[in-house]
Structure 1
Amino acid sequence: MPDGTRPPALPPKVELVQQPLGILQTLRKARENLIEIIPEIATKQPIITGKTGIIRWHMVMDPEANRRILKEKLDIYPKSDVTKNILRPAIGDSMFVAEGAHWRWQRRAAAPVFSHRNIAALAPIMSASAQAVCDRLENCGGQADVFDEMVRATFEVISDVTFSGTGSMDSSGVHRAIDAYIDQTARVSLFDVLGVPTWVPRLSRVFGPNSLGNMKSIADESINARRASGPKPVPDLLDLLLEGSDPETGRQMNSAELRDNLLTFIVAGHETTALTLGWALYLCAFDPEVQEKLRAEAQSVLQGRIATGEDAARMPYCTQVIKETLRLYPPAAFLSRTAQADDTLCGRDIRRKDTVMLPVYALHRNELLWDEPDAFRPDRFGPDASHDRFSWLPFGDGPRVCIGSHFAMVEATIILSTLISRFRFERIEGRDPKPVLVLTLRPEGGVPLRISPAPQG
């Protein structure tokens, strides 16, 4: 039965607050689960405005306003100072954090790295990771935390495509470092909530542990070793970045810029795709009809083998499942900007230094934009469906759209289709994950599922 003609499948969601919170409540919620500071009315309106401490803020859930923020008036709406202060200790002034001319030249230099041709050349690494996770699940004893498995699988990919499998980093160590960084450094502070100027130090960020220091050292060593040894026979991301230059100026990244951008790709690239796959497998377990439809497509295309990069374009329903997963559980579920000039959004006056938030989680569940917004319905991304591109922002949009979005979609398609073609995933009663956002939207408690061989037909 088509998705649109049966009762909606309503997976777990965050219960949003009924009205904007005070300072202390905002601080507590923001440190525990940032989504919980979003008022429920944000899922029913195009914009809401409020004030916390001395901060005047606006939450925007309107596609036209999003287009203005992310594309038409990019210089008026740079990333918020709070966002930069949280991320800069980890990834320096990489293209994810940089603004203006410094961002533009880095983006131009790195863009060819993520061309479709280069990603196609790296796709066999994704297929090898899919095979490895299949081997592990065949011996998991009938149950596994698939989020943990996806973290391992996507780290294997990013490690190999970045450093050609030198084995110098281990996935569990990297994830522990990321967790420690989030716990000590990436949480919102009281000064952030009160609007205290960002030049006033946040003690947790000054005295927090340098949990990513080891990763920085390893990246520096790898860059120096590659400069000495020369490129690999099949260039990896490091080779491509070393060779890359700004086509307008000829400028190339120095070692520090290379390191910071590599760390951005490693930390963001594997975590966000692992989250997408973990949530997608949960949703397939939650809705067996979707899982069966996806399995039929995958088995028809793959015929028992591991998916390849060429297969990704031949499985449109798999793409629909991934896009619907990204709508319900976007890894980057909350974006923040600081207005640099007076402006107008949705008829609302925006003043210089106002905080402009794009709560992607609320945007993706807004009743004005989506029919049955809390339901899991992959067919809403089918060939006959349509939606405003700025109503679906898992990768952002405009000039700063995620540079690795195609890489992520190909990787997710290869791994998800392979797993669904070979295994059946079932929920464990009472162990549904809760979406919790600090820096990314993670499943609290992981994603434990029952796993058994899929019928082959």
Structure 2
Amino acid sequence: MVQDPASLRRIYLDNAANYPKSEVMVRMLRPAIGNSLFTAEGAEWRWQRRAVAPVFARRNVTSLAPVMTATAERASQRLHAAGPQAELVAEMLTATFDVICEVALSGREHFDAKVYGAAIVRYFETAGKASLLDFLRVPSWFPRPGELLGYGAVHTMHDMVDKAIDARRAQATGQADDLLDFMLKATDPETGRTMSAQDVLHNMQFFIVAGHETTALALSWALQLLALYPEIQEEAHAEARSVLGDQPASLGDLESMPLGRRILQETMRLYPPVGMLAREVLIRDQLGGRDIHAKDVIFLPLYALHRHATLWDNPNTFNPDRFLPEQVKARDSYAYLPFGAGPRVCVGANFAMMQAQIILGTLLSRFRFAQGPLALPTPTMLMTVRPDTGINLSVRPRQR
């Protein structure tokens, strides 16, 4: 278990080639996303990264802001119609699903978000869990019980994505510049290879799941925390209201709402979307003065790192001011890793933050969130850090 920033820097950056993703983690993900960008290593990873990176370049992400604004407006309208109580995880998943489908496939008309979302959860609860057989180092070709139980979820997700890809191919003009277009056009400059139909399917599956699940959870946990810290919520409401008035947030508004960004950063400290990663060791090394041997498995417990008492004052307290510029500058950057670091830092980090800020700012300007009658949720670590009972809050429109 590594929670030392200097050692994490070595794993993520200085000696990253020595620490590929562990076979345990890859086995948990392979049924759903194959040898896609998240699981691939070496040259295979590099050419896939080059293929999808243009989609998340600043120019393209900026052009998607109107889609995010429209999504924020629809989310606001749904909350108005939902009544005084709402389950926020489901609401935020719907909102972020809209955006990632637009980015990936220029629309979501071929998806049933509820069915797809239920399949994701089912997968995380079955095939997406580590097995005792993994820790006994039983070869990965030996089937795990979870893989068998998760087969139906994989089939549901792949079938939806496959049909959506086929429909988009039939309608493609070559001008959409969505993720599918970039993947279909991508060519490895070293080998001339293009993505097979299975490569496209697995990468699309990965981006749709990762691109909406993690952002939705960050938004949901943020609203839960703000319900527990009403004084911070009121400050954020005043900021958003003064900037937005009656309008939904847009890209041009974000610099004027720095508290909203700090709230999201502090939320991802307390509830990082992915709470644990694992790496294999290829060649003997040293971390923190300790010998690390080939074939060791290194766990990177981000949830614990972000709450480590030697790295953070009052680590379990929600305090967005930790992310004021002077505080960030004084802190080791490897003490806070919600998007990873080094060459494999999350390619969609800017996209995710822009989307989350636009949605959060819009909702805080229009609603007051308070704790409902149900007990507080407990974080559960599947592949992502989810609230066990959802996030059920009182949601009341504010006077405009």
User: Which TM-score tier does this pair reach, normalised by the shorter chain?
Assistant: over 0.9
C-alpha contact 1:396 1:402 (8 A) present in aligned 2 = yes
Paired residues for 1:192-203 under 5 Å: 192-203=134-145
Match of 2:252 among 283, 302, 310: 310
Instruction: Give yes or no for the alignment of 1:414 onto 2:358.
Output: yes
Which position in structure 2 is the counterpart of 1:219?
161
Query: 1 CA distance for matches of 2:34 and 2:165?
Result: 16
2:116 aligns to what SS in structure 1? Answer: helix
Change (3 A) 1:411 1:253: same
Structure 2 counterpart of 1:73, one-letter code: N
Match of 1:333 among 275, 278, 297: 275
Match of 1:88 among 24, 30, 54: 30
Which position in structure 2 is the counterpart of 1:320?
262
Instruction: Give yes or no for the alignment of 1:237 onto 2:182.
Output: no
1:424 aligns to what SS in structure 2? Answer: strand
Normalising by structure 1, what TM-score? 0.83
C-alpha contact 1:298 1:417 (8 A) present in aligned 2 = yes
Instruction: Give yes or no for the alignment of 1:360 onto 2:309.
Output: no
1:426 aligns to what SS in structure 2? Answer: strand
Which position in structure 1 is the counterpart of 2:371?
427
Which position in structure 2 is the counterpart of 1:180?
122
Instruction: Give yes or no for the alignment of 1:436 onto 2:380.
Output: yes
1:428 Cα deviation from its structure 2 partner:
2.0
Structure 1 counterpart of 2:147, one-letter code: R
Change (3 A) 1:380 1:208: closer
Which position in structure 1 is the counterpart of 2:200?
258
C-alpha contact 1:160 1:166 (8 A) present in aligned 2 = yes
Which position in structure 1 is the counterpart of 2:219?
277
Paired residues for 1:8-47 under 5 Å: none
C-alpha contact 1:113 1:241 (8 A) present in aligned 2 = no
Q: CA RMSD in A?
A: 1.8
**Any gaps of 5 or more consecutive residues in structure 1?**
1-58
Query: 2 CA distance for matches of 1:391 and 1:251?
Result: 38
1:430 Cα deviation from its structure 2 partner:
4.8
Query: 2 CA distance for matches of 1:248 and 1:430?
Result: 57
Say which structure is richer in helix. 2
Which position in structure 2 is the counterpart of 1:389?
333
Query: 1 CA distance for matches of 2:150 and 2:304?
Result: 31
Q: After superposing the two structures, state which structure 1 stretch, 171-180 or 155-164, moved more.
A: 155-164
Query: 2 CA distance for matches of 1:136 and 1:336?
Result: 38
Structure 1, residues 237-277: CA drift from partner, whole Å, max 9, x if none? 22233334446666432322121111101111111011000
1:96 Cα deviation from its structure 2 partner:
0.2
2:17 aligns to what SS in structure 1? Answer: coil
C-alpha contact 1:71 1:397 (8 A) present in aligned 2 = yes
Structure 1, residues 345-392: CA drift from partner, whole Å, max 9, x if none? 000110111110110011000111111111100000012212211111
Instruction: Give yes or no for the alignment of 1:139 onto 2:76.
Output: no
Match of 1:162 among 100, 104, 113: 104
Change (3 A) 1:245 1:312: farther
Say how many residue pairs are matched: 398
1:433 Cα deviation from its structure 2 partner:
1.1
Query: 2 CA distance for matches of 1:105 and 1:241?
Result: 11
C-alpha contact 1:125 1:161 (8 A) present in aligned 2 = no
1:163 Cα deviation from its structure 2 partner:
2.0
Match of 2:316 among 356, 370, 374: 374
Q: After superposing the two structures, state which structure 1 stretch, 233-242 or 156-165, moved more.
A: 233-242
Normalising by structure 2, what TM-score? 0.95
